Structure 1
Amino acid sequence: MYGNASEPLLPTEEPLRELNSSPTNVSSSSCSLNIFDYQFTLIPVLYCIIFILGIVGNSVVVAVLCRHRASKTVASIYLFNLATADLLCLATLPFWAAYYSYGYNWIFGSVMCKVSSSVLSLNMFASIFFITCMSMDRYRAIVHPIRSQRRTLQQASVIALVVWGLACVSSLPTFYFRDTYYIESLGVNACIMAFPNEKYGKWSAGMAWMKNTLGFLVPLIVIATCYTWIRRHLLKAQGFEKNRQKRDRVLKLVAAVVVAFVLCWLPFHILTFLDALVHVGVVNNCDVISVIDAALPFGICLGFANSCINPLLYGFIGNQFQERLHHLFKLRVYQFSNRESSSSRKGSYLKDVETYGNCEKGREPGTAC
């Protein structure tokens, strides 16, 4: 039998609580219900900002990679899937922003509650898993360049399918348990995780610790290990000693990847872990629970912000990606000018573009015209 839907919904039941747990069973808690009104205005605004920036950045990445499918690489396959996962994750933000705006009242129906929650959970896992894959790919390419040449596009595609499969499996509990229930004390139809009442605490804690392990600890260990060995390799490499500026730039990018991952996801997973301790009764101090309730929305926002940072770290900073973006932008400018300019200007501009196109056809990969 599922938990009593008439039980009060704690403010810790955030839109992303399907990544964390579900509303606390207040029958086992002496803490009063604390709802922070600022969440209903501030959080939707933050979600909208993250949504706009993330959609723009990841859409550009997808557009550039689709435009240059002929020069597809293993790294570009992972980058495309990462951007796709981030886009799908960000696409659910308007629903959760509305959920906050209406005071935890889900107005989109039971099906959308289940689908939006499952898509969000699936793509959170997929995004983190693809960041891990890209870190391992960079390790092989820099530390073992000869061995990395054995990588094939088919292998990368199979790995991408496996990653999506693992993400789907990790999200099955969310798809099964997430649903809409009317919370009489608040007068809202909430989108919540409805675990079996008699084993509620164990289910909540188990889900939280699974996400801590699969969604943060394991990826963090792999990412940190890969970039530690990359740093050691670059510091020892004689070729990079001759070009210290280039080496330092690569090392800064390596550090930025690890720091961004930790800063974006560590607060959320710490709060997730503490909330799991609340559900199993290890933490029962009302002040601590109140701090968790107040801090969790911002931890969630930081996790979403990682989807905005990913295009910068894995796309726009790379020289090859910058060349492709410049090429795509130049073609778009030509197409616009071709419609707007006079016939005399068309001929002159067309000649320039044709010259650029001939150069593109004859140049070696990785070189500029």
Structure 2
Amino acid sequence: MASFANDNTNQSNRSAFYCEFNEDFKYILLPVSYALVFVIGLALNATALYVIVFRTKRWKPSTIYMFNLTMCDTLYIFTLPFLVYYYADENDWPFSEPFCKLIRFLFYANLYGSILFLCCISLHRFVGICYPVRSLYWVSARRARLVSLAVWAIVLFCQAPVLYFSRTRDMDTERICYDTTSPELFDDFLVYSSVVSVLMFALPFMVVMVCYGLMVRKLLEPSCGSEGGVEGERGGLAARRSKQKSVKMIIIVLAMFMLCFLPFHLTRSLYYSFRYLRQVNPAQVRTNTFSFIINVLQWL
């Protein structure tokens, strides 16, 4: 009897410490969110591709990077209808496992491809503003094409393991398409995901921050050798306004970059950490309230 009572006590203690991640809300949130992103994103990216392909006569390096960035987004947008159906049907994947792998692969390829091409655009602008004379020799359309090919090669190489980790599993009457990997491979996936986050998000994020910070400092430097007289004053005023507008645009771009990518990586890291702790030692995840917060944040 004492042993039975102790077992019950231990089970109750484990259940008190064990936090379950209730994900039912995603069956409404994700289909609605993905549907909105699909409609708006398809219209915007189609417009961008039309302007770049049919309205741009001379492709500059920035045009090449923008084209590749738009292609990244467009490839992902075409996967969203399948995810809308999947989550609206409460995690019942009606397609094959190879197609599940492809959808997950395109998601991460778009994510990190977008980050790397935004990093290329930042470096291009940095060289043009901070080293305008040298940029005439360093920056060219041919080099931009070579850099774009290198970015695509890096993305395909680094995201190829997603094709291995992503898989389906039949659960009762449902087929799950894992957005990470199956439970038995999660430890390996955690290591892989951490390395990719550092190499393809943290480092490019630091590069973008440094580039735009140096650009702001350069733009805020007082101009030398301005002409005297009324025309000189007008020219100086116009130059200051142009610089202020450029600084505001840089701040907006930085804010959008952080808004688009930083919350995802922070909340995903928290979610992966608590999922790992839940497997290793559930007692380390102590409160249902904190678990609920993490669960909500991961889908923001």
Q: Would the TM-score normalized by the shorter structure come out above 0.5?
A: yes
Give, as a single letter, the amino acid of the residue that structure 2 aligns with 1:100.
Y
The yes-or-no answer on 1:206 pairing with 2:208 is: no
> Structure 1 vs Structure 2: percent identity of aligned residues?
26
- The match for 1:289 is 291
Change (3 A) 1:33 1:275: closer
Given that residues 100 and 168 in structure 2 are in contact (C-alpha distance below 8 angstroms), is that contact kept between their aligned partners in structure 1?
yes
Change (3 A) 1:242 1:205: same
Give, as a single letter, the amino acid of the residue that structure 2 aligns with 1:223.
V
Deviation at 1:39, TM superposition (A): 2.1
Structure 2: which 5+ runs fail to align?
A: 1-16, 227-234
Counterparts of 2:286 and 2:149 in 1: how far apart (Å)? 44
Partner deviation per Cα, 1:78-103 (whole Å, 9 max, x = no partner): 00000110111122111111111000
Give, as a single letter, the amino acid of the residue that structure 1 aligns with 2:201.
F
Counterparts of 1:141-156 in structure 2, within 5 Å, are 141-150=128-137, 151-156=139-144
- The match for 2:145 is 157
Give, as a single letter, the amino acid of the residue that structure 1 aligns with 2:116.
F
Counterparts of 1:278 and 1:264 in 2: how far apart (Å)? 23
> Number of aligned pairs?
265
**SS of 1:189 mapped into structure 2:** strand
Given that residues 271 and 298 in structure 2 are in contact (C-alpha distance below 8 angstroms), is that contact kept between their aligned partners in structure 1?
no
Change (3 A) 1:290 1:196: closer
Alignment equivalent of 2:237, drawn from 221, 225, 242: 242
Change (3 A) 1:49 1:137: same
RMSD over aligned Cα, in angstroms?
Answer: 2.1
**SS of 2:94 mapped into structure 1:** coil
**SS of 2:128 mapped into structure 1:** helix
Given that residues 208 and 276 in structure 1 are in contact (C-alpha distance below 8 angstroms), is that contact kept between their aligned partners in structure 2?
no
Given that residues 271 and 295 in structure 2 are in contact (C-alpha distance below 8 angstroms), is that contact kept between their aligned partners in structure 1?
no
The yes-or-no answer on 1:257 pairing with 2:248 is: no
Given that residues 235 and 241 in structure 1 are in contact (C-alpha distance below 8 angstroms), is that contact kept between their aligned partners in structure 2?
no
- The match for 2:5 is none
Deviation at 1:149, TM superposition (A): 1.0
Alignment equivalent of 1:134, drawn from 90, 100, 121: 121
Partner deviation per Cα, 1:27-64 (whole Å, 9 max, x = no partner): xx93335232x321232111111111111111111111
Given that residues 202 and 279 in structure 1 are in contact (C-alpha distance below 8 angstroms), is that contact kept between their aligned partners in structure 2?
no
TM-score, normalised with respect to structure 1: 0.67
- The match for 2:177 is 191
Structure 1: which 5+ runs fail to align?
A: 1-28, 299-369
Alignment equivalent of 2:102, drawn from 112, 115, 130: 115
**SS of 2:293 mapped into structure 1:** helix
Deviation at 1:216, TM superposition (A): 2.4
**SS of 2:168 mapped into structure 1:** strand
Change (3 A) 1:241 1:166: farther
